[in-house]
A and B are shown apart, each in its own frame.
Chain A
Amino acid sequence: MDSENTRHAHARRHFFPPRRRALVYQTLLAAAVLLTVGYFISNAVENLLARRIASGFAFLFRQAGFEIGESTLLSYSASDSYLKALTVGLLNTFRVALPAIFFSTLIGGVLGLGRLAPNWLLAKAASSYVEVARNVPLVVQLFFWYSVITETLPAPGEALQPVPGLFISNRGMALPSLLWQFPVTLDYPELIGFNFSGGLSLSPEFTALFLGLTLYTAAFIGEIVRAGILAVHRGQIEAGRSLGMNERQVMRFIVLPQALRLIVPPLTSQYLNCTKNSSLAIAIGYPDLVAIANTTINQTGQAIEGVAIIMFVYLSISLTIAAAMNWYNAQVALRGGAA
């Protein structure tokens, strides 16, 4: 005779098999999500009506009416459109993120190798640096560098000149630039009045952001490089030595090629972080995409569109980098291996 419980269980299994149960759960979930989204949208429509804000992206073509401190890659004036202002912001994001990525890779490589160096002092110095840089928020570091530049450095008149042609002052950095003519020559900055002209002038905001971003990202890259090298099996190194290779050759032909395979995926995600972290520019007043989108939101009240633009741009960058990384992984993957 079936007990009450088993009968219930049988009945449940009959009327509610796992597949049908999954269908019911998912229908309920879909309904809940749709209802919530619908509720938010209807509220938003009402609120926007009440505030007389027209939704949509038409505002992009209206006149922005604000100046941007730095628009070196694209000429911009206050009479240009919001779209152009945001483009200037995006270019400014790349203008700081790409050099920061490049230099943080160099410094990070040195830090990673430095921590593994036989020299005790060098290893300690590198690891102390990494610990400090990783355990202090980037915003604090950016404020710090900005204060160092604007408070402790001399005015342009008495600018420091560590190497000829490079001037460091409380107005940022001025360095020689290449003039693209025939023959290519260097354009040196010159002090005219209270500021530098000619050459490449970098604002204090740019300099602080670039410096902070580079030094912060370098610490993380240093850890990735170190872990990648340590992950190479000891037997590989010993085998290299027993073939008569010296330490340099072992590093160059045995360790690095294998470490690189492990280093590249987390490295690309650091590059992505570096680009996302450049959005902290707004804290020290460098006009990157987020800063300009924020000004746009404040002026037009188009909060939804503004935030959507920021998210869309960063998501596109993320997905592009992710796709590039997948392609690279497919290239270096061990054939037929489990890696």
Chain B
Amino acid sequence: MTGAAALAWLRTRLFSSWWNACTTLVILYVAWRVAPALLNWALMDAVWSPADGALCRETPRHGACWAFIAEKSQFILFGTFPADQQWRPALVILLLLSLYALSAWRVLAPGRLALIWCSVLALIGALMWGGIFGLPYVENERWGGLCLTLLLSTFGLAFAFPLSILLALGRRSQMALVRSLCIGYIELIRGVPLISVLFMASVMLPLFLPAGLSIDKLLRVLLAMILFAAAYLAEVVRGGLQAIPQHQEEAAMALGHGYWQRTVYITLPQALAISVPPLVNTFIGFFKDTSLVVIIGLFDFLTAIRVSLSEPRWSGFGVEAYLFAGLGYFLFCYPMSRYSQRFESRSRGGGLALDEIRGANGKT
């Protein structure tokens, strides 16, 4: 940009009117007052190495204490997974990240992608549990940290998504009973907070199972998350189905296709393709919602950080701990949200529709 162009930009974007110029000056003044203190606290004066832990507890406070996050990093990433086996959850995290990247890239046909998902998820199960290929067995009470958060959200979505398609189709069904059961289910789940569904899984479900049978807590919670996510995803899929013009279905009918052929080959692929942005927004909401398991005491990323904080040596550094937790979630959610926004501007030519923000993002 040349000097003249820069000047023109400044004039139009920052100083176009008195009111505009005042706003600019006020923002610059606030930034000038706040930013140095914040930077000093967070970076310059911060304590980074656990060896300097004593500095954290000095008064007056030194700066931000990132030391305990460094010390607890293994616990925050992998929970209490046996130390000599931690390459397994590390590999699982890498596998999951590449799975996300591969799906976002959209070069593979949906069928092949689904096949890859199934085999990678099976591989992940084998890696985490062990007991085969000479890997020692690790019970799932010891899984935890970031790895568990990713597992919960990935497995949750992988199971909720097919279920949501069935629910969405059921809600549009000609059969009155199927339709009303689906509507009842979707509206019931969407009307209550996630925490009540989690309570249902943690305290109520054991009552409904026969006396001898018990499902462990992780699977119960996963089940609750699946049932919860399916209701929200179903509404997104239904939105996509509704947007497909009626004549698509009629044309398929005229060609003599039955219901499942019409659905699987004609309507559903189109519906899913246009619902990518709201689906991704729902995924973001679901990923954030996994943090609620902290309330019923499952060892996810957030719980691991919270437990690290309860150690007397490191208590009183909640601000740092939750800033770090927030950063962790942000690093996953923000790329997803950019992806969905980019998709949207590509498919709509820059226009914005309200359906997108009505997507489930932010619901609990």
Residue among A224, A280, A319 with most chain B CB within 10 A: A280
- Chain A residue nearest to B334 in the complex (CB): A135
User: With A290-B195, A318-B191 in contact, do A297 and B319 touch (Cβ < 8 Å)?
Assistant: no
A35 beta carbon closer than 8 Å to chain B: no
Query: Which residue on chain A has the smallest CB distance to residue B209?
Result: A43
- Chain A residues 294-322 with CB under 8 Å of chain B are 294, 297, 303-304, 306-307, 310-311, 314-315, 318-319
**0/1 string, B172-202, CB within 8 A of A gives 1:** 0011111001000000101111011001100
- Find A135's partner among B12, B178, B181, B330 (CB 8 Å cutoff): B330
Question: A137 touching B302 by the CB < 8 A rule?
Answer: yes
| Residue pair B181, A33 in contact (C-beta under 8 Å) | yes
Partner of A143, one of B199, B200, B210, B322: B322
Task: Say whether A90 faces chain B, with CB atoms less than 8 Å apart.
Answer: no
The interface residues of chain B lying within 8 Å CB-to-CB of A30 are 177
Whether a CB of chain B sits under 8 angstroms from the CB of A64 is no
Task: Tell me whether A231 and B210 are in contact in the complex, defined as CB-CB below 8 angstroms, given that A220-B357, A266-B358, A276-B192 are known contacts.
Answer: no
- Which among B20, B174, B306, B357 is the interface contact of A119 at CB below 8 angstroms? B20
Q: Would you call A269 and B358 a contact (CB within 8 A)?
A: yes
How far is it, in angstroms, between the C-alpha of A216 and the C-alpha of B353 when the chains are bound? 22
B178 contact from A29, A144, A147, Cβ within 8 A: A29
A16, chain B: closest CB distance, angstroms: 13
Cβ contacts under 8 Å, B200 to chain A: 307
Contacts of B181 in A (CB 8 A): 29, 33
Q: Is the CB of A152 within 8 A of B199?
A: no
B14 at the interface (CB under 8 A from A): yes
**Which residues B16-41 have CB closer than 8 A to chain A?**
16, 20, 23-24, 27-28
- B104 contacts partner chain A, Cβ-Cβ < 8 Å: no
- Asked whether, in the complex, the Cβ of B333 is within 8 Å of the Cβ of A311, the reply is no
Tell me, in angstroms, the Cα distance from A200 to B119 when the chains sit together: 59
Tell whether, in the assembled complex, residue A279 and residue B195 are in contact, meaning their CB atoms are under 8 Å apart: yes
Contacts between the two chains (Cβ within 8 Å), count: 200
Contacting pair A144 B199 (CB below 8 A): no
Q: How large is the interface on B (under 10, 10 to 19, 20 to 34, 35 or more residues)?
A: 35 or more
- Whether B208 pairs with A297 at a CB distance below 8 angstroms is no
User: Which residues of B from 160 to 180 have beta carbons under 8 Å from A?
Assistant: 174-178
* Residues from chain B with Cβ under 8 Å of A315 in the complex: 188, 191-192
Smallest CB gap from A319: residue in B: B191
B residues less than 8 Å from A173 (CB atoms): none
User: Is residue B51 within 8 Å, beta carbon to beta carbon, of the partner chain?
Assistant: no
Query: What is the CA–CA distance of A151 and B23 in the complex, to the nearest angstrom?
Result: 33
Among A47, A132, A138, A231, point to the contact of B211 (Cβ < 8 A): A47
Q: What residues of B have a CB within 8 angstroms of the CB of A227 in the complex?
A: 352-354, 356-357
- A50 contacts partner chain B, Cβ-Cβ < 8 Å: yes
Do B330 and A132 touch (CB < 8 A)? yes
Q: Hey, which chain A residues are within 8 Å of B23, CB to CB?
A: 117, 119, 121-122
Does A26 make an interface contact (CB < 8 A)?
yes
> Are B196 and A314 touching (Cβ within 8 A)?
yes
CA distance A21 to B338 in the complex (A): 46
Residues 15-38 of chain A, each 1 if its beta carbon lies under 8 Å from chain B, else 0: 000000010011001100100000
A180 to chain B minimum Cβ distance, whole angstroms, is: 34
Chain B residues within 8 Å of A332, by CB: none
State which residues 143-163 of A face B: CB under 8 Å. 143-144, 146-148, 150-152
Which residues of B are found within 8 Å of A231, using beta-carbon distances?
A: 352-354
- Residues from chain A with a CB closer than 8 A to the CB of B20 are 118-119
Q: Is the CB of B354 within 8 A of A228?
A: yes
A-B contact pairs, 29 of them (CB 8 A): A43-B207, A46-B210, A47-B206, A119-B13, A119-B14, A120-B14, A132-B330, A134-B361, A135-B284, A135-B330, A135-B333, A136-B329, A141-B322, A141-B326, A143-B306, A143-B318, A147-B321, A151-B319, A216-B362, A220-B361, A262-B354, A266-B357, A269-B358, A273-B362, A280-B364, A297-B199, A307-B199, A310-B192, A315-B188
